[in-house]
Every structure is written in structure tokens, then in C-alpha cells.
Amino acid sequence: MGSFFGLVSFLLCALQISAEWNTKDYMKREHSLIKPYQASSMSIPNWDFMGSTMVTNNYIRLTPDLQSKEGAIWNTIPCNVKNWELHVHFKVHGKGKDLFGDGFAIWYAKDRMVGGPVFGNRDFFQGLAIIVDTYSNHNGPHNHQHPYISAMINNGSLHYDHDRDGTHTQLAGCEAKLRNLEHDTHVNIRYEKDTLTVSTDIENKAAWKECLSVKGVRLPTGYYFGASAATGDLSDTHDVISIKLYELDSPDDVQEDRSKILPSAAFFEAPRDHVDDVKPSSMSGFKIFLLMLFGTLAVIVLVVIGIMIYQKQQEQSRKRFY
Ligand SMILES: *[C@@H]1O[C@H](CO)[C@@H](O)[C@H](O)[C@H]1NC(C)=O
Ligand SMILES: [Ca+2]
């Protein structure tokens, strides 16, 4: 079983790599944010900014290393590319050695320029959030360290729970030591054929390292790209240096109209860090046991009935002989 899954994931990996090699990357300028930002006029073409966001020649500072700040930048043009790859060059740094926060998020969302509690963006959002959570709010034993990168898909019904660091609404995640580094740090969000893959380049190796990959993710077209960050009691500097959107659509793809669908994900990660969550999983184990029990009983009953019918037929055929 294990080797079967190993083989499958190896084949998927191989496919992924060949897909990456075959793709003709094409940067869409209207969804990208690159230097020079033209900050002189206090506005950036195709991008709006809000809150504590400050534009300089070399970076866009979403929050400074000060308490209780929120900032965001949002693309003004809805994205109608169905398959895409987004490269974000960022820098998280600050005075704090052990205490810093809260983190930042990269968005592909329906609503733009609405501040709120989810790293400077609204809660109950519709769309995709890639969350870089630098501060562990959860006091219980953690399965992972922070900073932690996770993906969340929301159709507007889910609340991002800071007390659990979002662990019970995330699709998947990974640890990433991305703070206070001398070299450049990048995150790559690839959305292709309903597979969402997040990779990082934070080890100064000029190569992507996979953080998470989830199949069965359905996102509508026509949403907006954005980035937001927040500080609270703890603080950090959250800078965005560039955002580059590459189109992965090929003209011969059969294009399904995705403009009206709600964001959805087929697979959620099993909830973690949550004591109450042990019960549902043992319940489902119990359900499986019951199902197997009933299945076995059903098979026995069918076999018994079968034997009875067979015997009856044998009897009748014997009767016919006499
Ligand atoms: C929205 O998402 C929630 C949680 O994933 C799900 O239970 C609900 O059915 C979804 N609503 C719609 C209208 O798809
Ligand atoms: Ca947190």
C-alpha cells in the first residue's frame, strides 16, 4: 500500500516537473508589481494601498515594526487567467528575536481593500489566502513551529481562528524559517488544473522547495490579487518587493466558465492542535467498524440464503427424478 502511494506520488511529481518545463511562462504586467513602482506621484499603476502601507523606491512596507498596524495592497484589475503562477518577493524583519508578529497573507479574493482581523484583511472572505503566520497564538502543544505557511480556501462561510492559528481551516501547510534573513526570500503560488502548490525560495539556493500541494481546489476567475499584513501586541516589518503573475493557460485548453463558481476545496487537512477533534476521528473509526460489521453480517446472510435456495433447488431436481 505504502509503496503504491509512493509510486503514485513519484509519478505525480514527475508529471509536475515535466509540466513546469513545458510551460511557457508569460508575465501579466497588469497583475504584477515590479520596480520602479512610480511612487513619486504617490500612486502605483494598477495597485491600491491602504492602512499603514508605505511605498518607497525599493520596497512596499505593509507594516513597520510597530504595534497595532495593518496594511494592504490590492491589484485594481480582476484576474481572468484561469491557470497561473504568482511569485512574491518579500522580506519579514524586525528587532524582535523571540517575540514578533503577527504575519502577512497573500490573497486571491473577491473583495479588495476591506481591512479586518485576518492579517489586515476581512474575515469570512471569499477566495484563497496564503498565510505566513509568524506568531504562534496557540498555547497548547504544537505540531509545528512558526513561522508557518498555510493555505485556506473560503466561500465566505469560514472564520479564521487566530486562537488556533487557523489550523482547523487550513488545507495544508509547512514551517518556513523566513525571518530576518540577509538574502532574498520568495514564495511561489501555483494554481494549475485545480491543483494549488505553494513553494518557497528562502534558503538562498535559487530553487523552489515545495511547501504544500493540494488537488481539487476550485477558484473562480475575476478575483483580485492582494497582500496584507498586521501587527498586534507584537510587531515586525512586513515588506513586499515584487509580485509577478505568470499566465499558464494555453490557447488549446478547453475553457470552462469559472466566473460564477464559489471557491471550494475537495480535501481538507485533518484538524490539528484541537482536543475536541480527537472524538470525530475516533467516531469515524467506530463508524468504519460498524460498517464492516454490517457488511460481514450482510455477506453471511446472503451466503445462508444462497445455500438455502441451492438446497431447495437440489431437493426439487431430486423430486423430479423420482
Ligand atoms: C461553503 O463552505 C463550507 C465549508 O467548507 C461548506 O460546508 C458549505 O457547504 C459551502 N457553501 C456553499 C454554498 O458551497
Ligand atoms: Ca498566529
CATH code where residue 111 lies = 2.60.120.200
Of 110, 124, 126, 155, the one to substitute when testing ligand 1's pocket (max ligand atoms within 8 A of C-beta) is: 155
| First-residue to last-residue Cα distance in the chain | 56
Residue 247 lies in a domain: yes
Å from CA of 157 to ligand 1 middle:
7
Q: Is residue 248 part of a domain?
A: yes
Alpha-carbon distance of 130 to 249, in angstroms, equals 22
Which residue among 126, 168, 171, 264 has the greatest number of ligand 1 atoms within 8 angstroms of its CB, and so is best to mutate? Answer: 264
**Is residue 108 over pLDDT 60?**
yes
Render pLDDT for 178-237 as a digit per residue (tens, 0 to 9): 999 999 999 999 999 999 999 999 999 999 999 999 999 999 999 999 999 999 999 999
Condensed to tens digits (0 to 9), the pLDDT of residues 282-306 reads: 455 666 667 788 888 888 888 888 8
- Average pLDDT of span 238-242: 98
- Tell which one of 125, 157, 168 to mutate to probe ligand 1, the residue whose CB is within 8 A of the most ligand atoms: 157
Q: Whose CA is nearest to atom 3 of ligand 1?
A: 157
DSSP track, 60-89: EEEE-SSSS-EEEEEESS-B--SSEEEEEE
Q: With a cut of 60, say whether residue 163 has pLDDT above it.
A: yes
The CA radius of gyration of the chain, in Å to the nearest whole number, is 26
Within a domain: residue 21?
no
256 lies in which domain range? 27-265
Indicate whether 285 belongs to any domain: no
Average pLDDT, the chain: 87
Task: List the residue whose alpha carbon is closest to atom 10 of ligand 1.
Answer: 155
- 251, part of any domain: yes
The closest residue, in CA terms, to atom 8 on ligand 1 is 157
262 CB near ligand 1 (under 6 Å): yes
Widest CA span of the chain, in angstroms? Answer: 109
Give the number of the atom of ligand 1 that is nearest the alpha carbon of residue 265.
Answer: 5
| Residue at 310 is within a domain | no
pLDDT of residue 287: 67
Cα 262 to middle of ligand 1, angstroms: 9
d(C-alpha 284, C-alpha 280), whole Å: 6
Grid cell, residue 220, equals 473562480
The pLDDT-based confidence of 18 (bands split at 50, 70, 90) is very low
Which ligand minimizes its atom distance to the CA of 264? 1
In a domain, 307, yes or no: no
Alpha helices in 87-209 (DSSP H): none
Cross-strand pairs, 239? 61, 91
Distance CA 174, CA 137 (A): 16
| 3-class SS of residue 42 | coil
Rounded to the nearest 5°, which phi and psi values hold at 89? Answer: -95, 120
Which atom of ligand 1 is nearest the CA belonging to 154? 2
- Euclidean distance between CA atoms 227 and 224, whole angstroms: 10
pLDDT in tens, 73-106: 999 999 999 999 999 999 999 999 999 999 999 9
Domains: count for the chain: 1
User: Is 319 domain-assigned?
Assistant: no
Dihedral sign for Cα atoms in the order 159, 113, 155, 103: negative
